[in-house]
Structure 1
């Protein structure tokens, strides 16, 4: 039996409503940490894409299989990272600016706490037994005015401007939850990416100090 679980694999979810920049921030964060990045939009079942393309917001029943796919993808990517060698020499990797554990980044809106709990591996009967993959969130936090301005400028994306109001009404602020990095997106892209990186490293260092 391998010691994969003992390396405390980690899923980093970069979250927030449409047009907050989570895909760009997530890709930059993954690049800086030397880990894989996946855009959660690419993991939507075809029925969800068709519904959103028609300008209709998703409901909880639509989102459930998507969230489960994201969790499963995180598990797969972390296992692949470990098999490649990531997380096997934690102290050396931390000295190189990495996390010292197998990890990946996935961008996902994760608007409600119940959605985030699914991504944390919680089910109706409690936390999953295995594999033991931790989840933290990087919250791309922006004002409604800034988000509306950005989404109006987007071309060719299935998310329509009128759907932003629905997303903001659904959003449950995650900042009081454990393992959340709150990043103000009104700064320059470089500053936002830097804050996401430093905040993530701090959360993971705190987890290391607690043996999580």
Structure 2
């Protein structure tokens, strides 16, 4: 998939923990026939340990993680292939950094309320992100702004409905501002 005159499209699926990023991201990648990159899988070990201990990451902690993500986006774009990446990208500055990696970076923000996120995270098993960090994510969350390339999708309901909304949004991607 390519954006109009912009090269391969890289879809960044973002939101707080429990929003459904991995589920939606995998489905989008499969539907688009492009590789999938789970952002949690490229966190440095120190970040994973810090989060597992219930301590939120700060900008300095996230810097090497964001560099890894931007490097992977850049590599994908240079190879001429699209990519779907999942990552929290909670702040505009993080998304701006990801967009600077290559033309055609487009965001799907999965919007959920705090209660939904907390309920979903509380049911997880085998993930390093503890429930007590959900609130810290909402404290720094800067939702997708109207001038950012991408779309906000209500992800609080049924995962199948959320995936259908995300698929429609990506299929209709024209490189414009958030809708």
| TM-score, structure 2 normalization | 0.89
Structure 2 equivalent of residue 193 of structure 1: 163
Q: Deviations over 1:143-198 (max 9, x none)?
A: 11111111111112111111001000010011423212111112322221111011
Aligned equivalents of 1:16 and 1:194: distance in 2? Answer: 17
Aligned equivalents of 2:154 and 2:132: distance in 1? Answer: 23
Aligned equivalents of 2:10 and 2:165: distance in 1? Answer: 18
Aligned equivalents of 1:53 and 1:178: distance in 2? Answer: 31
Structure 2 equivalent of residue 106 of structure 1: 85
Structure 2 equivalent of residue 22 of structure 1: 21
Aligned equivalents of 1:103 and 1:193: distance in 2? Answer: 19
Contact 1:75/1:133, CA 8 A, preserved across alignment? no
Structure 2 equivalent of residue 73 of structure 1: 72
Structure 2 equivalent of residue 10 of structure 1: 9
Structure 2 equivalent of residue 120 of structure 1: 99
Q: Map 1:148-167 to 2 at 5 A.
A: 148-167=118-137
Aligned equivalents of 1:107 and 1:11: distance in 2? Answer: 11
Q: CA deviation at 1:78?
A: 3.3
Which ranges in structure 2 are unaligned for 5 or more consecutive residues?
none
Contact 2:6/2:103, CA 8 A, preserved across alignment? no
Q: CA deviation at 1:71?
A: 1.0
Structure 2 equivalent of residue 45 of structure 1: 44
Q: CA deviation at 1:7?
A: 6.0
Aligned equivalents of 1:104 and 1:9: distance in 2? Answer: 8
Which ranges in structure 1 are unaligned for 5 or more consecutive residues?
1-5, 83-101, 122-127
Q: CA deviation at 1:73?
A: 0.7
Q: Greater Rg, structure 1 or structure 2?
A: 1
| TM-score, structure 1 normalization | 0.76
Q: CA deviation at 1:135?
A: 1.0
Q: CA deviation at 1:112?
A: 0.3
The answer to whether the aligner puts 1:138 opposite 2:108 as a matched pair is yes
Number of residue pairs the alignment of both structures matches: 172
The answer to whether the aligner puts 1:181 opposite 2:160 as a matched pair is no
